[in-house]
Amino acid sequence: MKRLFSPWRSAYIASFKGAKRSAGCLFCRIAKQRKDAQNFILWRGVHCYLVMNLYPYNSGHLMVVPYKHTADMGSVSDETSVEIMHIASRAMKALEKVSEPQGFNFGANLGRAAGAGIDKHVHFHIVPRWSGDTNFMPVLADVKLISEDMRKVWKALRQQLIS
């Protein structure tokens, strides 16, 4: 069985202990700001938006985030659920054109125990994958190498999504 380990994510989650947090929910805050390029928001729908993950597992790691603030998947409307899948599908098509991944991980971590870094707001991860995309650096050196500039990836994906 192959496993995707990401010790740098544990460090990210641990960094919030005792840290002074900004008021309110990060996902709600960036949705309201309307500074899409600054916040790496790629696409806005009626019920959800698509944003790049600032702490990615791999280059091109995206998240589909409902505008509604909830930790309960059961309270997400049917319309929102349909839009989540629609945006995820569009995002994967854009990633295929821009980055040519060999596969994807797609899903949600619901709750802190499940690994959610932001556990009070439901969101879905889209992680592009390539054969051999993990190496010794994260495990032995606690270093994750992302070889692409996020701003360039944002521009390339944004272009694919709006065309």
Active site residues: 123
DSSP state of 115: T
DSSP string, 28-89: HHHHHH--HHHHTEEEE-SSEEEEE-SS-SSTT-EEEEESS--S-GGGS-HHHHHHHHHHHH
Q: What is the largest CA-CA distance in the chain?
A: 44
Tokens of 67: 């505008």
CB atoms within 10 A of CB 21: 8
